Structure 1
Amino acid sequence: MLTLLAVLCWCRLTEVTDSLVESFVDLVRVINTRAERRVDKAQLRSSAGSPIRRTCC
């Protein structure tokens, strides 16, 4: 009986660990996406402030 309880606890522990890792990966993706958006916005702002000058031929 004790062996079955140990197996159940081990399986549950792996399920909880997998769930935590999956949540952490999702969180990292959200943070990465936000960071990329901020960088893109900053690049757009910096490029919008200095227009491209063309010289006529």
Structure 2
Amino acid sequence: MFEFDQYLGFLAFLAILTIGFWLLIFLTAIIPYWIGGALMERLREIKESKKSKQ
């Protein structure tokens, strides 16, 4: 059926595929959420600083 080197190649392929899948999920879901939260917090700080100046 499979020789040992083919088995290792298949396992390497599965590992790379899995890493790529989770990296794609991370880049499309977590990074924009983090950037959006940071922007909202920054805008809130700017509004509060304007209120305190008045």
Partner of 2:8: 7
Which of these two proteins has the greater Rg computed from alpha carbons?
1
Q: Detail structure 1 runs of 4+ shifted over 4 Å in the superposition.
A: none
Structure 2 spans left out of the alignment, 5+ residues: none
Cα shift at 1:21: 2.8
CA RMSD of aligned residues (A): 2.0
Distance 1:39 1:23 in 2: 26
Structure 1 spans left out of the alignment, 5+ residues: 53-57
Report % sequence identity.
10
Matched residue count: 51
Question: Of 29, 32, 36, which residue of structure 1 is paired with 2:34?
Answer: 32
Deviations 1:5-46 (A, max 9, x none): x33431221111110232233232221111100000111112
Give the TM-score, by structure 2 length.
Answer: 0.66
